[in-house]
């Protein structure tokens, strides 16, 4: 009597490939990320040099905004301003 050989059928084979492709892509991106970041260092350093030149003006502006915010809090103007914003732009009332 002769045996008939059957082909093996793996129904989950496609799913296994799909499950491993995602982690493999993340792993590859993790390996390449330092090299990608290294290409961005030059432009970042040039931009930070431009910011360093204007840092005094930026610092004074932010300080003035902070003092203005404190004055608005103490005098109740911040609440009035927020109510005006909600009345003027009703969609702000739906946020949060």
Domain extent listing, the chain: 11-53, 55-96
pLDDT in tens, 41-76: 888 888 888 889 999 999 999 999 999 999 999 999
Is pLDDT at 6 greater than 80 in this prediction?
Answer: no
Whole-number mean pLDDT of the chain? Answer: 84
Of all residues in the chain, the percent with pLDDT exceeding 70 is: 80
pTM: 0.46
CB 64 within 8 A of CB 72: no
CA gap 50, 62 in Å, rounded: 18
Is pLDDT at 96 greater than 80 in this prediction?
Answer: no
């Amino acid at each position: 009597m002769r045996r008939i050989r059957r082909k093996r059928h793996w129904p989950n084979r496609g799913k296994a490939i799909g499950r491993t492709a995602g982690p493999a892509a993340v792993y590859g991106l993790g390996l390449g990320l330092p090299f990608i970041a290294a290409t961005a260092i030059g432009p970042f350093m040039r931009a930070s040099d431009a910011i360093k030149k204007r840092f005094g003006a930026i610092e004074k502006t932010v300080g003035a905004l902070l003092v203005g915010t404190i004055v608005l809090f103490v005098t109740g103007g911040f609440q009035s301003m927020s109510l005006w914003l909600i009345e003027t732009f009703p969609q702000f009332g739906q946020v949060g």
